[in-house]
């Protein structure tokens, strides 16, 4: 892959790095395709437990690459222009957000600099977000002549920070500094620039203390219950996963580890 890198500092943790640093990792069609490919590869890797998503160089992702938007034929063979090509290409790019949610591993967004437009959408699609002091976040779509609602932002942002603040950010396209993003609850912590990747990896290590199925089931239920119609339905989904987890033998290992005052030794691949 030319525009995306996958690095495994240890078998249980993947660093997924957008790698177009000269353009602040702007979303070209090639990057969109390679990011889909990378997510599929990581999802198939049962040894991997947690993913850190970040950008190469001095930015996370500057949003859509406007120099590349007139060429959806780069990913849609035989369709160079027109509404059908445009809609198919739009769907392909927007489907990155549910793809982030769908893979089995929790994803930590390590926001190292600007996260604008589609870049912010990628961060919103992750399970946890931490920011470098230099991070800047902006729903910039309305600034480039289209609707301010794009790539899942109008769905995710109100659920993360509330409808009132989401309306403000989407309608005005104003830029959030890292500290304000933390106050809004858009990111959970802000760290010095040089500590962003170490902080994300330390958090990933914490998550690796839990069972593989427990991590997967927690991610699945948290996202599913954002849309579920009732408390009863939410509890039923929780109950199903708890029974599945309880039948894995891992709860017995957790109990043994507690009484023996050691870390649990989880079964890999379950």
The more confidently predicted of residues 267 and 214 is 214
* Nearest-angstrom CA–CA distance, 133 and 154: 25
Indicate if the pLDDT at residue 46 is higher than 70: yes
The per-residue b/e assignment along 192-228, b for 16 or more CB within 10 angstroms, e otherwise, is eeeebbebbbebbeebbebbbbbbbbbbebeeeeeee
**What residue ranges do the domains of the chain occupy?**
4-207, 212-260
What are the tens digits of pLDDT across the range 221-258? 999 999 999 999 999 999 998 888 887 777 777 778 77
Q: In the chain, pLDDT over 90 holds for what percent of residues?
A: 72
Question: Per residue in 103-130, pLDDT tens?
Answer: 999 999 999 999 999 999 999 999 999 9
Pairing, β 136-138 against β 176-177: antiparallel
Stronger pLDDT, 75 or 150, i.e. the higher one:
150
**Correct CATH for 212-260 of 3.30.1490, 1.10.10, 1.10.3470, 1.10.12:** 1.10.12
Pick the CATH number of 4-207 from 3.30.43.10, 3.40.190.10, 3.30.9.10, 3.90.226.10: 3.90.226.10
CA–CA distance, 35 with 1 (Å, rounded to integer): 9
pTM of the entire predicted model? 0.92
Helical axes 153-161 vs 163-172, angle rounded to 10°: 130
Mean pLDDT on 61-71? 78
Split at pLDDT 50, 70, 90, the class of 79 is low
- In the predicted structure, residue 6 carries a pLDDT above the cut 80: yes
In the chain, pLDDT over 70 holds for what percent of residues?
94
pLDDT of residue 2: 93
**Which two three-digit tokens encode residue 98?**
């549910």
From the CB of residue 87, how many other CB atoms can be counted at a distance below 10 Å?
12
Q: Quick one: pLDDT at residue 256? A: 83
């Amino acid at each position: 892959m030319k525009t995306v890198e996958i690095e495994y500092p240890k078998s249980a943790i993947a660093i997924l790095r957008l790698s177009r640093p000269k353009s602040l990792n702007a979303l070209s069609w090639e990057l969109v395709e390679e990011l889909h490919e990378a997510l599929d590869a990581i999802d198939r890797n049962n040894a991997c437990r947690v993913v850190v998503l970040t950008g190469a160089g001095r930015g996370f992702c500057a949003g859509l690459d406007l120099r590349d938007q007139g060429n959806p034929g780069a990913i849609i063979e035989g369709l160079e222009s027109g509404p059908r090509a445009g809609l198919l290409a739009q769907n392909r790019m927007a489907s990155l957000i549910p793809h982030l949610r769908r893979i089995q591993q929790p994803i930590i967004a390590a926001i190292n600099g600007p996260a604008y437009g589609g870049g912010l959408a990628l961060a919103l699609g992750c399970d946890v977000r931490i920011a470098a002091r230099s991070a800047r976040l902006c729903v910039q779509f309305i600034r480039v002549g289209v609707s301010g609602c794009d790539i899942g932002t109008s769905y995710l942002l109100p659920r993360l920070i509330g409808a009132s603040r989401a309306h403000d950010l989407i309608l005005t396209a104003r830029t959030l500094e890292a500290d304000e993003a933390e106050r809004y609850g858009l990111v959970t912590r802000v760290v010095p620039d040089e500590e962003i990747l170490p902080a994300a990896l330390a958090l990933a290590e914490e998550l690796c203390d839990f069972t593989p199925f427990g991590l997967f089931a927690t991610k699945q239920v948290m996202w599913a219950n954002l849309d579920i119609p009732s408390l009863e339905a939410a509890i039923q989904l929780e109950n199903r996963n708890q029974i599945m987890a309880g039948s894995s033998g891992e709860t017995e290992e957790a109990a043994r580890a507690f009484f023996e005052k050691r870390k649990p030794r989880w079964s890999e691949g379950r």
